Chain A
């Protein structure tokens, strides 16, 4: 059960209180560590993982109120359940604790039965929160999870400048038809692991995978310095990984794969779209369409990576590119300056 064997931290400057609370909690089956002031408690919380904090208010160095404020401001610790135990007089201080994010308040001397019930309830709430967070992590990128945690969920978007990358496996449908389905799934899993590494390694965020294709964004939802350069480096890393992957496939007697990558830089509309119940973080706009068109054009151009003029300008000569001139891309009214790498 969740309330058994939890790791608890008791922060209290008074030795009698500390010993008694520690003893009571140990008798209830928990592991207990203690700190005799707020600063020490904060150091221990930064160093070790605790399931719950029992906090006294009156402490030297850093008091309970200040500690609650520090916890609320720390993304790693803001979800730590805190039960305040104090013999403070009056309800104003109790209300302040709850406003500052404490889960609960118990008057000293703490009634052991009440303590047990409150700890059980707080740990159960924490377990549900942890489960929810794990789910968000699985289905969203860490950046989106962090953005959600920091600003909450709201449908709607904002305009920002980002670099968008599209990639897919050339001739994938034909390949999939020639081999057993489990080989195809294994190929995709390995391929995605490699591509996620290449993109994440440069600060990009994969926000969609469809079949053998993926879309990644550099510079959203969190800002990224020099996003166009990061996107181009990711594209080159992706190509390098495919080369290594093909060497492995050749050793196993399998046919090589090839990828095409398109990158566009410019204004996008980024945000959560969908319904209140089912939503996704996405980027839309001309830049996204352009990147998708460039990726589709890699086959005709017989080049691995195509980028638009804005991405090329931002590179400022740091990576060598070949100018392909102004091309008329499908779905684009005006011709677009295209550059090739790889």
Chain B
């Protein structure tokens, strides 16, 4: 059985922000109302993970910083895949595997993608409620 949400890396530019099929699957199995709450939770939790990534990068010499960074990137990847947020998942996965970057640019890109993702997720969740 193929693993939902996994795509080859070179496909990143063509990836949609949200994979509609994955999101629809999630709503079908967990219920649209529950998924709307889950999007809300993601909106509260993900900024903490982004904060972890920033914190680990700012204190990159501190003991355990690399592990903190990898772990936060891993969690963000995992949650992104859950919602079918393929682009965000791919960016997080790249950071998880590569570890602490040389500068903050990858985190800027990640945060921008997160903002787009969350907006798209909220729009879909609201759409499901209204429809």
Q: Which A residues contact B (CB, under 8 angstroms)?
A: 13-17, 19-20, 23-24, 27, 58, 86-89, 107-109, 111-112, 114
Partner of B30, one of A20, A58, A87, A108: A20
Partner of B78, one of A23, A108, A114: A108
Partner of B81, one of A13, A87, A112: A87
Does B7 have its Cβ within 8 Å of any Cβ on chain A?
A: no
Across the interface, do A107 and B3 meet the contact criterion of CB distance under 8 Å?
yes
A86 CB contacts on chain B under 8 angstroms: 78
Q: Given A89-B97, A107-B3, A109-B5, does the pair A16, B74 have CB atoms closer than 8 Å? A: no
A15 CB contacts on chain B under 8 angstroms: 41, 45
Distance between A60 CB and nearest chain B CB, rounded to angstroms: 8
A17 CB contacts on chain B under 8 angstroms: 78-79, 82
Q: Given A58-B71, A89-B96, A107-B3, does the pair A16, B29 have CB atoms closer than 8 Å? A: no
A107 CA to B1 CA, complexed, in Å = 11
B34 CB contacts on chain A under 8 angstroms: 23
Distance between B66 CB and nearest chain A CB, rounded to angstroms: 14
A–B Cβ pairs within 8 angstroms, 14 of them: A15-B45, A16-B41, A17-B82, A23-B31, A24-B29, A88-B74, A89-B96, A108-B78, A108-B82, A109-B5, A109-B22, A109-B26, A109-B82, A114-B1
Across the interface, do B41 and A19 meet the contact criterion of CB distance under 8 Å?
yes
Does B75 have its Cβ within 8 Å of any Cβ on chain A?
A: yes
Distance between B86 CB and nearest chain A CB, rounded to angstroms: 12
B4 CB contacts on chain A under 8 angstroms: 109, 111
B87 CB contacts on chain A under 8 angstroms: none
Across the interface, do B78 and A87 meet the contact criterion of CB distance under 8 Å?
yes
Does B77 have its Cβ within 8 Å of any Cβ on chain A?
A: yes
Dominant SS among interface residues on chain B:
helix
A107 CB contacts on chain B under 8 angstroms: 3
A27 CB contacts on chain B under 8 angstroms: 29-31
Across the interface, do A111 and B1 meet the contact criterion of CB distance under 8 Å?
yes
Partner of A23, one of B30, B93, B96, B97: B30
Partner of A20, one of B74, B77, B82, B97: B82
Q: Which B residues contact A (CB, under 8 angstroms)?
A: 1, 3-5, 22, 26, 29-31, 34, 37-38, 41-42, 45, 71, 74-75, 77-79, 81-82, 93, 96-97
Q: Considering the complex, give the chain B residue whose CB is closest to the CB of A16.
A: B79
A322 CA to B26 CA, complexed, in Å = 82
B71 CB contacts on chain A under 8 angstroms: 58
A17 CA to B76 CA, complexed, in Å = 11
A88 CA to B81 CA, complexed, in Å = 12
Across the interface, do B45 and A109 meet the contact criterion of CB distance under 8 Å?
no
A88 CB contacts on chain B under 8 angstroms: 74
A19 CB contacts on chain B under 8 angstroms: 37-38, 41
Partner of A14, one of B26, B29, B75: B75
A16 CA to B35 CA, complexed, in Å = 10
Across the interface, do B77 and A87 meet the contact criterion of CB distance under 8 Å?
yes
B38 CB contacts on chain A under 8 angstroms: 16, 19-20
A245 CA to B29 CA, complexed, in Å = 64
Q: Given A58-B74, A112-B29, does the pair A14, B1 have CB atoms closer than 8 Å? A: no
A14 CB contacts on chain B under 8 angstroms: 45, 75, 78-79
The interface centre, meaning the residue of A15, A24, A87 with most chain B CB atoms within 10 A of its CB, is: A87
B74 CB contacts on chain A under 8 angstroms: 58, 87-88
A302 CA to B42 CA, complexed, in Å = 83
Across the interface, do B97 and A108 meet the contact criterion of CB distance under 8 Å?
no
A17 CA to B79 CA, complexed, in Å = 7
A88 CA to B75 CA, complexed, in Å = 10
B31 CB contacts on chain A under 8 angstroms: 23, 27
Distance between B24 CB and nearest chain A CB, rounded to angstroms: 14
A109 CA to B79 CA, complexed, in Å = 8
Q: Considering the complex, give the chain A residue whose CB is closest to the CB of B75.
A: A14
A149 CA to B53 CA, complexed, in Å = 46
Distance between B53 CB and nearest chain A CB, rounded to angstroms: 15
Return the 4 tightest CB-CB contacts between A and B, nearest first: A87-B78, A109-B82, A16-B79, A112-B29
Distance between A38 CB and nearest chain B CB, rounded to angstroms: 14
A109 CA to B80 CA, complexed, in Å = 9
Q: Considering the complex, give the chain B residue whose CB is closest to the CB of A63.
A: B71
B5 CB contacts on chain A under 8 angstroms: 109
A19 CA to B34 CA, complexed, in Å = 9
Across the interface, do B30 and A24 meet the contact criterion of CB distance under 8 Å?
yes
